[in-house]
Amino acid sequence: MSQYWSAVVHGLTPYTPGEQPKLPDLIKLNTNENPYGPSPKALAAIQAEVSDHLRLYPDPNGDRLKVAVAAHYGVTTRQVFVGNSSDEVLAHVFQALLKHNDPILFPDITYSFYPVYCGLYGIGYREVPLDAEFAIQPDDYHTPNGGIIFPNPNAPTGRLLALSAIEQIVQANPDSVVVIDEAYIDFGGDSAIALVDRYPNLLVTQTLSKSRSLAGLRVGFAVGHPDLIDALERVKNSFNSYPLDRLALAGATAAINDVDHFNHSRHAVMATRERLSQALTGLGFDVLPSAANFVFARHPQHDAATLAAGLRERAIIVRHFKLPRIDQFLRITVGTDAQSEALLAALTALLKP
Ligand SMILES: *Cc1c(COP(=O)(O)O)cnc(C)c1O
């Protein structure tokens, strides 16, 4: 605290990111990184960009990346916004499209950055409880609101909402923007990008951090009606005209274009997820059905915080949220099969009476 802080800063409750430990040799299953590494073509494109060109500013509009995203998803470049991570894209979304008189709606259990952005931008919100099975009920979103946002699949539950249910929410709210945060959609869901041509109030955000294994490069994007994209461009150009550097633009463009690597990596993660879910169930865990690159599981006889601490002693880190309704769950990132084996061996030891 300091007398020099603005009133806004005094009132902030910042997001707490998952730990990025400095210790080597940890099995790191706490922040949903992809174990398989980025596309070799993306790495080559980044290396080729390391040159005297770095003295020059990058393309402020990221046009090459927009072209790649538009081609991959079958939309026009005017329907695409690119930014320095989807967290930054989401920040612009909150300021540009979700700040109105009515409170916005999001689930009571969801990505914990949303209330942080509300605090930063002075946006009111109402949390809509997930049902007893931790699913989103579309009918609960048929109330007056200043906007709606949730991840699909939801985080940290991993549960997927069908595209038809999303369409129902979008149709029921023609006067608000509905934002679908698809950070994990490539691990088993159908993207709502398929609906953007039909609904001018639908915005879809995605990231290259998870399915394209580029969390360190910080690239995300949004797809929606050109009027929604224009709002994001206005905020971006009032904040930072060059949010994506030359390395990020080169690497992200190559990563989007390398469809083979993308498919290979996400299918490997999905296959491991199914094996891991079954094995955890075999150990007595309740495992929520996941369409993401993590599983959310609780053990009826073992406290989650104690299990997380025990795993840490065995050099494995998972995420535990001390939050109402979910404090008995562990969120476990799907790593390689070898990492799953190590996790299961450690849990087997910890569960012994
Ligand atoms: C990881 C994640 C993001 C952020 O992705 P970045 O592009 O790395 O900032 C956004 N939303 C959800 C739900 C996430 O899990």
For residue 188, give the CATH number of its domain: 3.40.640.10
Local confidence band at 22 (pLDDT 50, 70, 90 cut-offs): confident
Query: Which phi and psi (to 5°) does residue 202 adopt?
Result: -105, 125
Judge if 170 and 243 occupy the same domain.
yes
Per-residue model confidence (pLDDT) at position 351: 96
Residues 206 and 336 in one domain: no
Model confidence pLDDT, tens digit, residues 224-265: 999 999 999 999 999 999 999 999 999 999 999 999 999 999
Distance 22 CA to ligand 1 centre (A): 22
* Owner of token pair 């469809």: 259
Tell me which residue of 123, 99, 91 sits closest to 11, measured CA to CA. Answer: 123
How much is the pLDDT for 160? 98
Pocket probe for ligand 1: among 86, 206, 334, the residue whose CB has the most ligand atoms within 8 Å is 86
Tell me, using a 6 A CB cutoff, whether residue 153 lines ligand 1.
no
Q: List, in sequence order, the alpha helices (H) in 176-303.
A: 226-236, 246-257, 259-282
For position 303, which CATH number holds?
A: 3.90.1150.10
Q: Which atom of ligand 1 is nearest to the CA of 85?
A: 7
Residue 86 to residue 69: CA distance in whole angstroms:
14
DSSP state of 202: E
**Where does the pLDDT of residue 23 fall: very low under 50, low under 70, confident under 90, or very high at 90 and above?**
confident
Q: How many domains does the chain have?
A: 2
- Going by pLDDT thresholds of 50, 70 and 90, the confidence category of residue 16 is confident
> HEC states along 65-123?
HHHHHHHHHCCCHHHEEEECCHHHHHHHHHHHHCCCCCCEEEECCCCCHHHHHHHHHCC
Chain segment 118-134, per-residue pLDDT in tens:
999 999 999 999 999 99
- pLDDT tens readout for residues 84-115: 999 999 999 999 999 999 999 999 999 999 99
Q: Stretch 176-205: mean pLDDT, rounded?
A: 98
pLDDT in tens, 257-296: 999 999 999 999 999 999 999 999 999 999 999 999 999 9
Which of 11-20, 94-103, 203-212, 331-340 has the lowest average pLDDT?
11-20
3-state secondary structure (DSSP) of residue 249: helix
Strand partners, 302: 299
172 lies in the same domain as 287: no
CA end-to-end distance (rounded Å), the chain: 47
Q: Give the position, in ligand 1's atom list, of the atom nearest the Cα of 90.
A: 10
> Measured in angstroms, how far is the CA atom of residue 5 from the centroid of ligand 1?
28
Work out the average pLDDT over 192-216. Answer: 98
By residue range, what is the domain housing residue 250?
40-258
Is 90 exceeded by the pLDDT of residue 17?
A: no
| pLDDT recorded at residue 186 | 98
The domain boundary residue, chosen from 212, 236, 258: 258
Is residue 33 a contact partner of residue 213, using CB atoms and an 8 Å limit?
A: yes
Evaluate: CB of 110 within 6 angstroms of ligand 1: no
Q: Are residues 92 and 183 in the same domain?
A: yes
Write down which residue in 229, 258, 287 finishes a domain.
258
In this model, does residue 148 exceed pLDDT 90? Answer: yes
Query: 246 with 53: CB under 8 angstroms?
Result: yes
Residue 13: count of CB within 10 angstroms of its CB: 11
pLDDT, greater one: 217 or 8? 217
Could you tell me if 21 and 48 lie in one domain? Answer: no
Q: What residues pair up with 127 in beta bridges, in sequence order?
A: 106
The per-residue pLDDT of the chain, averaged, comes to 97
**Is the domain of 217 the same as that of 94?**
yes
Domain match, 273 and 155 both: no
β-bridge mates for residue 224, sequence order = 203
Mutate to test the pocket of ligand 1, among 106, 109, 179, 181 (most ligand atoms within 8 A of CB): 181
Q: How confident is the model at residue 21 (pLDDT cuts 50, 70, 90)?
A: confident
Query: What's the pLDDT score for residue 67?
Result: 98
Same domain, 24 and 44: no
Residue 53 and residue 32 in one domain? no
Ligand 1 neighbour 215 (Cβ under 6 A): yes
Six-digit token string for 119: 């605090």
Interval 294-319: pLDDT, tens: 999 999 999 999 999 999 999 999 99
pLDDT confidence of residue 328 = 98
Last residue of a domain, one of 258, 281, 301: 258
Cα of 33 vs centre of ligand 1, distance in Å, is 10
Residues 15 and 159 reside in one and the same domain? no
The verdict on the CB of residue 244 being under 6 Å from ligand 1 is: no
Do 205 and 178 form a contact (C-beta atoms < 8 A)? no
| Among the listed residues 126, 66, 130, the one whose alpha carbon sits nearest the alpha carbon of residue 102 | 126
Residues 346 and 284 in one domain: yes
Look up residue 294 and give its two tokens. Answer: 């993590």
C-alpha–C-alpha distance, residues 128 and 135, integer Å: 11
pLDDT tens-digit map of 24-44: 789 999 999 999 999 999 999
d(CA 115, CA 119): 6
HEC string of 265-299 equals HHHHHHHHHHHHHHHHHHCCCEECCCCCCEEEEEE
SS3 content of the chain, % helix, strand, coil (to 5): 40, 15, 45
Residues 19 and 71 in one domain: no
Q: Which residues 6+ apart lie within 8 Å of 333 measured at CB?
A: 28, 29, 30, 31, 32, 33, 293, 294, 318, 319
